[in-house]
């Protein structure tokens, strides 16, 4: 970080600017909510958009940055949702705990949901990452469906009927908190040596292997982190909707996240945010079309893929999700000469 | 013993639906290399189309049954129609993406699937409600060793087996088949040899769509209800059977379809939810033991 050219912002501003922006955004939304310009329905859509951003960003880590094909991501989400909901509704009954303990219980639930998903992510990752490409995709699809079928069989958590009466702890603050935290962590992860390894595996797995990267380890790590985030997102989802059932986490849901990811542009966190937010809002905006809305949604999706197949954002990043190049290329492990920057 | 045989009959019946659908999946995958998630919806189009085509033939029906010739016409029209739609889908949505990453084609296929499901649903004369499927074949019931088997089931199973053999011969022996194999091996080289790739791929999609229509008619003949959502889970299961048998391999798809159908019926007899999961459990086990599927060949990746 020794060179700063004229274009970049003041370092301090650059560091805290995005955070300030988030706080301002939060306050503005809250004021609009208080003035009832944003009604409960808009708020609900925004909460789901936040959950979808988390899911898409975590899927991006696996599909976009590590180059693996996970098409059963809703499976991790359902594990997280059930894990968190069991903690907040069964272990600590929501009406029997004091007000002050609600938030810690909620966070504990999210953590447990994330950990359950991450452990399963490792378990599914170790054997299946021997498989490549399409076959890995199929195993993750099968995994998602198996999770769904198993959840339907477990009667104490409601079986096929699902769980009801989950306290809706997940308000706008928590959703936004987790979205910002996750994006920040993912950004730092992607520009860390680990992230470099992920990207190397994506670009050419054999070459990455030859350069001494333990590809299996990094692939499992990527799976595990993505599963953890998906689990947390699932926990948030459960506490937004206060009702979950196994069938809402089927292949359709996984396909939704794939659509958000690739329509937004894979390999770019900005793309995940834009894709998830736009495509969550789009069906709601089209609601006046009644039964035709999904037809139009499908046409828009196909058109985006045909005419802009790299996604809406297409691999670009907004400045605060990017790390300054100078600091990146000074790191010894990158091992690139300064004048080789044109390759990027 | 009798109930075992009975389950076996049901298994073969479901298996032949999966197998017919899986043939289309596997051929498209083998030649274009894409997972066409919209394939299950071709089944739905086929079954729903048959419902409306049969309506047109109402005047020739006697007490709700159709003469043999009319049934043949209905099935043929449904096959051609579904095949045509499949060709159209390929030409509009998949052809421009042929050289793009596979995931892009997969997402487009998800979009196509969404379109094919929701478009008929939005049309006022189709709508989301299930409809009773017309009786194309009047079933006669036979009893073999205590298990009852209907003529419809026999026709279905034989039809599936004959189609598989015919397709296998088509790919192995005819000039068209040789072109298909060439395109599946190397598109550019095939093109240099004077093969019209677009035509070969269109024909593949046509065959896949037509077979999906047949499997839709078979499915709706034994579970006589058609609705716009019927394609999605059937498509998923037949995809699983294609992978199980080794995706890209015609005999494998057939084998996978029957294995999955039989396993699913026996597992459903134990527990209905387990019946759904068993296909995926078998799939994971097979893939971990033999990653290319039962009949699939392992390809060695060269640097």
Q: What is the pLDDT of residues B219-233, one digit of tens each?
A: 988 888 888 888 888
* Model confidence at A327: pLDDT above 70: no
What does each C-alpha distance from A272 to A180, A227, A256, A321 come to in angstroms?
Answer: 13, 16, 12, 12
Greater model confidence, A330 or A91: A91
CB atoms B243 and A69 under 8 Å: no
Is A282 at the interface with chain B, CB within 8 A?
no
In contact, A293 and A299? CB cutoff 8 Å: no
- Using the structure block, give the residue that is written with the tokens 């095939």: B190
The domain locations on chain A are 37-248
Is A128 at the interface with chain B, CB within 8 A?
yes
Chosen for mutation from A256, A305, A311 (greatest number of chain B CBs closer than 10 Å) is: A305
Cα(A311)–Cα(A274) distance, rounded to whole angstroms?
A: 10
Chosen for mutation from A264, A309, A312 (greatest number of chain B CBs closer than 10 Å) is: A309
The domain locations on chain B are 17-231
Percent of chain A with pLDDT over 90: 25
- Helices B68-89, B39-56: crossing angle, 10 deg rounding: 140
Confidence at B201, pLDDT banded by 50, 70, 90: very high
CB atoms A295 and B122 under 8 Å: yes
CB atoms B118 and A305 under 8 Å: no
Chosen for mutation from B91, B111, B125, B248 (greatest number of chain A CBs closer than 10 Å) is: B111
Residues 233-252 of A with CB under 8 A from B: 251-252
pLDDT in tens, A14-56: 777 778 888 888 888 888 888 888 888 888 899 999 999 999 9
What does each C-alpha distance from A1 to A193, A321, A322, A333, B246 come to in angstroms?
Answer: 17, 17, 14, 16, 53
Closest of B294, B279, B293, B206 to residue B18, by C-alpha = B279
A224: distance to nearest CA of chain B, Å? Answer: 19
CB atoms A146 and B232 under 8 Å: no
pLDDT at position B299 is 62
Q: Which residues of B touch A (CB under 8 A)?
A: 35, 37, 93, 96-97, 100, 102-104, 106-108, 110-112, 114-115, 117-119, 121-122, 128, 232, 236, 239-240, 243, 247, 271, 273-274, 276-277, 280-281, 283-284, 287-288, 291-292, 301, 303
pLDDT at position A325 is 53
Confidence at A339, pLDDT banded by 50, 70, 90: very low
In this structure, the dihedral spanned by the alpha carbons of residues A170, A176, A181 and A183, taken in order and rounded to 10 degrees, is 120
* Model confidence at A215: pLDDT above 50: yes
pLDDT in tens, A165-184: 888 888 888 999 999 999 98
3 state DSSP class of B94? helix
3 state DSSP class of B226? strand
> How many CB pairs below 8 A link A and B?
119
**DSSP assignment, residue B92?**
I
Nearest CA in chain B to A257: B107
Percent of chain B with pLDDT over 70: 97
Is A28 at the interface with chain B, CB within 8 A?
no
Is A6 at the interface with chain B, CB within 8 A?
no
Instruction: State the average pLDDT over residues B285-292.
Output: 79
Greater model confidence, A135 or B268: B268
pLDDT at position A4 is 46
A-chain CB neighbours of B280 within 8 Å are 142-143, 145-146, 149
**DSSP assignment, residue A158?**
T
Closest of B241, B253, B292 to residue A131, by C-alpha = B292
Write the CB contacts of A210 (distance below 8 Å, at least 6 apart in sequence): none
- Using the structure block, give the residue that is written with the tokens 């196909």: A302
A71: distance to nearest CA of chain B, Å? Answer: 10
A-chain CB neighbours of B271 within 8 Å are 153
Q: Kindly provide the ipTM of the predicted complex, given to two decimals.
A: 0.85
CB atoms B122 and A130 under 8 Å: no
B44: distance to nearest CA of chain A, Å? Answer: 16
Chosen for mutation from A64, A134, A159 (greatest number of chain B CBs closer than 10 Å) is: A134
pLDDT at position A165 is 82
pLDDT in tens, A92-129: 776 677 777 788 888 999 999 999 999 998 988 887 66
Percent of chain A with pLDDT over 70: 88
Is A135 at the interface with chain B, CB within 8 A?
yes
Cα radius of gyration rounded to whole Å, chain B: 19
Closest partner CB to B122 (pick from A152, A259, A292)? A292
pLDDT in tens, A290-308: 778 888 888 888 888 888 8
pLDDT at position B301 is 54
3-state helix, strand, coil split of chain A in percent (to 5) is 75, 0, 20
Closest partner CB to A145 (pick from B118, B247, B280)? B280
Confidence at B199, pLDDT banded by 50, 70, 90: very high
In contact, A158 and A245? CB cutoff 8 Å: yes
CB atoms A134 and B247 under 8 Å: yes
Instruction: State the average pLDDT over residues A82-87.
Output: 91
- Using the structure block, give the residue that is written with the tokens 């992978």: B243
Instruction: State the average pLDDT over residues A200-222.
Output: 89
Chosen for mutation from B97, B114, B236 (greatest number of chain A CBs closer than 10 Å) is: B114
CB atoms A302 and B97 under 8 Å: no
Chosen for mutation from A71, A131, A138, A307 (greatest number of chain B CBs closer than 10 Å) is: A138
Confidence at A9, pLDDT banded by 50, 70, 90: low
| Planar angle of CA B177, B112, B15, nearest 5 degrees | 55
Q: What pTM value is reported for the model?
A: 0.84
pLDDT in tens, A49-75: 999 999 999 999 998 888 888 888 999
In contact, B244 and B286? CB cutoff 8 Å: yes
Is A205 at the interface with chain B, CB within 8 A?
no
Token reading at B254 = 């057939």
* Model confidence at A341: pLDDT above 50: no
Closest of B35, B86, B61, B212 to residue B138, by C-alpha = B61
Is A69 at the interface with chain B, CB within 8 A?
yes
Confidence at B204, pLDDT banded by 50, 70, 90: very high
Cα(A283)–Cα(A265) distance, rounded to whole angstroms?
A: 19
CB atoms B277 and A306 under 8 Å: no
pLDDT at position A94 is 64
């Amino acid at each position: 970080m020794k060179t700063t050219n004229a274009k970049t912002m003041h370092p301090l501003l650059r560091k805290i600017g995005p955070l300030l922006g988030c706080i301002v955004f939060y306050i503005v939304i809250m004021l609009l909510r208080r003035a009832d310009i944003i009604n409960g329905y808009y708020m609900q859509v925004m909460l789901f958009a936040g959950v979808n951003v988390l899911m898409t960003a975590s899927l991006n880590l696996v599909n976009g940055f590590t180059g693996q094909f996970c098409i059963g991501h809703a499976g991790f989400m359902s594990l997280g949702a059930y894990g968190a909901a069991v903690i907040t509704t069964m272990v600590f009954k929501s009406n029997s705990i004091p007000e002050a303990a609600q938030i810690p219980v909620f966070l504990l639930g999210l953590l447990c949901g994330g950990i359950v998903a991450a452990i399963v992510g490792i378990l599914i990752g170790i054997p299946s990452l021997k498989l490549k490409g399409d076959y890995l995709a199929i195993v993750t699809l099968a995994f998602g469906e198996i999770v769904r079928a198993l959840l339907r069989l477990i009667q104490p958590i409601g079986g096929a009927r699902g769980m009801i009466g989950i306290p809706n702890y997940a308000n706008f603050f928590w959703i936004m908190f987790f979205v910002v935290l996750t994006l920040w962590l993912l950004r730092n992860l992607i520009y860390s040596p680990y992230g470099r390894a992920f990207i190397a595996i994506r670009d050419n797995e054999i070459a990455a292997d030859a350069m001494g990267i333990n590809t299996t380890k990094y692939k499992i790590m990527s799976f595990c982190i993505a599963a953890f985030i998906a689990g947390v997102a699932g926990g948030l989802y459960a506490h937004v909707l206060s009702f979950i059932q196994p069938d809402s986490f089927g292949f359709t849901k996984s396909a939704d996240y794939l659509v958000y990811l690739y329509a937004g542009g894979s390999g770019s966190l900005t793309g995940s945010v834009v894709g998830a937010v736009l495509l969550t809002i789009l069906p709601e905006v089209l609601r006046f079309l009644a039964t035709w809305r999904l037809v139009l949604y499908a046409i828009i999706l196909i058109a985006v893929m045909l005419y802009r197949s790299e996604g809406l954002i297409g691999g670009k990043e907004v400045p605060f999700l990017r790390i300054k190049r100078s600091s990146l290329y000074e790191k010894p492990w990158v091992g690139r000469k300064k004048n080789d920057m044109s390759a990027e | 013993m009798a109930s075992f045989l009975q389950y076996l009959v049901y298994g073969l019946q479901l298996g032949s639906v999966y197998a017919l659908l899986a043939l289309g999946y596997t051929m498209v995958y083998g030649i274009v290399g894409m997972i066409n998630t919209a394939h299950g919806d071709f089944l739905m189009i086929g079954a729903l189309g048959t419902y409306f085509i049969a309506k047109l033939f109402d005047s020739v029906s006697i007490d709700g049954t159709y003469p043999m010739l009319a049934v043949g016409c209905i099935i043929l029209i449904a096959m051609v129609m579904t095949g045509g739609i499949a060709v159209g889908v390929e030409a509009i949505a998949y052809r421009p993406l042929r050289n793009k990453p596979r995931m892009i084609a997969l997402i487009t296929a998800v979009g196509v699937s969404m379109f094919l499901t929701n478009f008929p649903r939005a049309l006022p004369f189709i709508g989301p409600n299930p409809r009773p499927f017309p009786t194309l074949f009047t079933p006669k019931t036979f009893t073999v060793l205590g298990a009852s088997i209907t003529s419809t089931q026999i026709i279905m199973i034989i039809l599936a087996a004959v189609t598989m053999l015919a397709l296998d011969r088509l790919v192995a022996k005819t000039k068209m088949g040789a072109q298909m194999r060439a395109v599946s091996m190397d598109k550019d080289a095939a093109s240099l040899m004077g093969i019209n790739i677009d035509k070969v791929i269109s024909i593949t999609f046509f065959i896949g769509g037509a077979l999906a229509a047949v499997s839709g008619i078979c499915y709706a003949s034994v579970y006589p209800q058609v609705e716009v959502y019927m394609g999605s889970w059937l498509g998923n299961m037949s995809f699983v059977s294609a992978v199980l048998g080794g995706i890209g391999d015609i005999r494998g798809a057939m084998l996978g379809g029957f294995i999955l159908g039989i396993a699913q019926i026996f597992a459903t007899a134990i527990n209905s939810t387990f019946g759904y999961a068993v296909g995926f459990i078998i799939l994971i086990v097979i893939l971990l033991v033999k990653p290319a599927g039962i009949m699939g060949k392992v390809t060695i990746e060269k640097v």
